Chains A and B, each alone.
Chain A
């Protein structure tokens, strides 16, 4: 029987460059959790009244012994997940990214990272997925705060393929990991089927400009690159699904001919992927033209994720325009 990755590989080969819209990464997460739990009784989903938001209701029905409800208590969520992990369970703490990485930040810092417990922190409906619900429900700070804490891998998958691979990899990890994604449908697979934490994926190659994107900012970057192609501008698109540790080798490779770099992320422009890339390149002598596209240091407008993306230029149109400006 083919596993889902092999199946996806075949489908990917068939569709070649055409982007097939897949499911929300959230649904890929929950489906992957079910697949893993079927053969691994140690897989535990720990939820904070978030099994519905996390699409884990079927998981809970099928594996009632492998779901732990904590109630709306995010500090305890991470503490309990830590205690389970310390006893050898593969504990996935699942909660909206906004609460998980703010309300329980001290638990992440002390109990998970400092104490080196291999908890898998799953930030659902991340970034501005809950766009119209207001900034209480946005997580535009998570990369920044977690980047400043040692001993944690930070991951934002772009497409369905990266999401499944990330969840499978996380299950086997012996160190802390944070994975965040949204709830809007994303492409099935924008590139090859190579996946490893800390290794970016080259989705498209071109020497005029490099998009260094992460999470749900990758798809608009990819669309912009296709649009620029029509204008005779050849762009590289990197999916940097792992924000920490950063694939500095790959980024350097696609910065080395001096092409402008445009970073794209569903995060504050402060402290996220863009600053991580800029910091690395500047300290290593690169002086490429550079632009960070993300959410500005301001109160965020409200609307759907797409509307907010459009508002701040995290879109095919916006990124195309920014790229052309940068190339001037």
Chain B
């Protein structure tokens, strides 16, 4: 009964939040965000670049917000289907993972993926029927440091060890295999989407837009990595908490991973400029 009351209360709060903050105007890119983004990445804000940056930021904000809200809704629905499994915190989720934080971060990751799932048309000149393409090579190394994915791969290695440990001793909570399974799924999703962003069609563009396109791809991949890392940290925290109930050391590690998840989630917001460091207007020259 208490769980059902919680579920209804949180569902109501969620509906209010989505209604209040999910409005299109609230998710629109502010000029200060656009200028900050351009200044940080050395983009010259020509009118067409400004439009492109505004669309990029608005698209990411909107998809992330709705992804996160969708994740919370999934947690809510699961809590209704399976009363008693709805929790906020680390290490107390059941095998269905109706944990709000996990569901919200997973939703954010799906939102970041969805925000970059649009397809650009190749540079077809409708007048002549000709298509142009650059012979410039684009690969993952063009946009991201290889080191940025090593942390996630390491987490997968830790996940494999945990999984083997769980198979050896099934008395440990089923949170472990579920966390590891979601960890693998999140890593695979990030890798898959990263490849898609890298090879996504790039029409032959004027120089300012071509530079912006490179920055957009890089930022999209970075946002993807941070969102993925945030979820991976949280899932590892879940699994470690489930394994080390009563252990202070493992508890501290889980807490550190939880803090890491929050930091990574914040870093995945590509519009969030370090306000003090941006000199507004410099990119408008």
**A complexed with B:** no
Binding site for A on B (CB under 8 A): none
